[in-house]
Amino acid sequence: MIDAKRRTLLKGSLGVSAVGVAVGAGLLTPSAVLANWPKAAFEAKDTEAALNDLLGSNATETSDEVKIKAPDIAENGAVVPVTVESGVSGAKSISIMAAGNSTPLIASFELGENAVPFVSTRIKMAETADVIAVVQTDSGLLSAAKPVKVTIGGCGG
């Protein structure tokens, strides 16, 4: 029993060491390993610019098909639970924004063909503002917003 644990430890150590050597030698760089990400969208200072850079348009239509679950009052802006789901078929992506943040785009999730349009995460909010969810479909961008009051903490401290 002890030999199996030791072998697992040795295999894991060798694997981590190999990856560390490859990164140190410059064979694996984050830009080569990670997917191409929309840097301009995540650095945008307002929601319209972020949507333009991310999805090519900022023309959203408010829809009851997009549902946001978030607290009305977030006691700590550093950890705000948010769930977004949609009943629309053919959803391609779900993006989450916090309008009060200096860079409002929080996350964007690309969905597979048969994926259920549902995401749940925790976000950081700088101040009291709307949390905006945008669902990209073949026919356009659907959105919903929910005001969240932040009492302490957040991005600003």
Q: What percent of the chain has pLDDT over 90?
A: 59
Count of residues making up the chain? 157
pLDDT band at 84 (very low <50, low <70, confident <90, very high): very high
* pLDDT tens digits along 9-57: 777 777 777 767 766 766 666 555 556 678 889 899 999 999 999 999 9
CB atoms within 10 A of CB 92: 16
- Of 94 and 89, the structure prediction assigns the larger pLDDT to 94
Compute φ and ψ for 130, nearest 5 degrees.
Answer: -85, 140
CA distances from 137 to 2, 37, 95, 110 (A): 54, 20, 12, 11
- Whole-model pTM: value is 0.74
Q: What percent of the chain has pLDDT over 70?
A: 85
